[in-house]
Amino acid sequence: MTELGKAISLVRAKIEKHHDPESMNEQNTKTALIDPILRAIGWLVGDLDEVVQEYRRKRKDNPVDYAMMVMRTPRLFLEAKALGHNLDDEKWAKQVLGYATVAGVQWVVLSNGDEYRIYNSHAVVPIEKKLFRTIRISDPESKAEDVLSLISKEQLQEKTIDLLWSAQFVDRQVKKLVGDLFHGDPDEGLIKLIQQTGDDLTTDDVFASLQRANVTIDYPEILAMPKVCKPQPEKSKAPAVANDVSLAEIVSQGLIKLPCRIFATYHEVEVSATIEAPGRIVFGKDEFRSLSTAASAARKHVLGTDAKKGPSTNGWAFWNCIYQGERVKMGDLRKRAGGGPA
């Protein structure tokens, strides 16, 4: 049995023993139920370089129970409630998700020591769709070990959970789009494709068959990403500089404060947008998930093109902001956040 498996068994026994809410207040829940899980997934509770309790971004802010730190930067917030506390009340999730968005922290966990709910604060979707995974330690069938491993120190450093979220986000869209092909009257393109592929099928035959069909699309719950072996660079070549610093990391390091105005001059026309949160950039009346898509829309606006999409654009090179009183490229802030020369 793994260390996490042992911790889950221990915590499960404590939950069964102390099911009376009066004997397990919030502080006892953290000490007896949550701390053992955090230690088992690699977090050194008590080491302020890794786990900051009662974390405040600013002195006036309400504290978050735990901030899990990677390179001394908060990577995940965990808000604790007492055992037996009902997590269905959206106000608890809204509170910590709102704070995480401002602080530039993508991943949030809400827990009462038994139930763990993992949210993506950066997802530009309604709050119920920000929920990524949920488990109950008291339920042996809930895959607690697999899910809790996703918020381990090692997997947060490797950004495994980010990759899984991206895969799930794509799967949701594909599922809806494919489902729409069969909803109501079957899609004409689908009918033609089936007719051309089959033998002696008429349009009416295919149409009637699809109306009788009950098509369902199901995806397995992915709990781990396959490991990909990266090719080793040739020794004679200088290592490439990885531009993997995210907008969230720039915000969390305090290089910009939200909301942040960004601007650019294109064909002698100044355009501007607002970074309201990592993953939410507003240009005009539209919201975009990245600097590049917002930059593409800005160029399309200036060009007045009728194309559905604007020209492909590197948003880091396109947008500027004010940093320490000076106009700087967002790409330069990215270099600064990554420890390189600005």
Mean pLDDT of successive 10-residue stretches along the chain, which has 342 residues: 92 87 84 95 92 91 92 92 90 90 92 95 88 93 91 88 82 78 77 81 85 75 51 48 73 88 92 91 90 91 74 90 90 81 52
- Where in the chain are all domains bearing CATH 3.90.1570? 3-161
- Contact 15/114 with Cβ under 8 angstroms? yes
Rounded to whole angstroms, the maximal C-alpha distance in the chain is: 74
The CATH class for the domain spanning 3-161 reads: alpha beta
- CB-neighbour burial class of residue 108 (10 A; exposed 0-12, middle 13-18, buried 19+): buried
From residue 178, how far is each of 115, 168, 194, 204, 211 by CA, in Å? 33, 15, 15, 21, 15
CA 96, 102, 106 angle in degrees (round to 5)? 70
Q: Give the pLDDT confidence score for residue 223 in this predicted structure.
A: 54
Rg for the chain, CA atoms, rounded: 24
Kindly give the pairing relationship between strand 131-136 and strand 260-266: unpaired
CA 264, 251, 74 angle in degrees (round to 5)? 165
Neighbours of 157 (CB within 10 A): 12
Cis-peptide into 311, omega within 30 deg = no
Q: Give the pLDDT confidence score for residue 234 in this predicted structure.
A: 53
What is the pTM for the complete model shown? 0.59
What's 22's DSSP letter? G
Six token digits for residue 326: 């000076």
Q: Give the pLDDT confidence score for residue 54 in this predicted structure.
A: 94
Question: Following DSSP, what letter does each residue of 77-124 receive, concatenated?
Answer: EEEE--TT--TT-HHHHHHHHHHHHHHT--EEEEESSSEEEEEETT--
Q: Give the pLDDT confidence score for residue 248 in this predicted structure.
A: 85
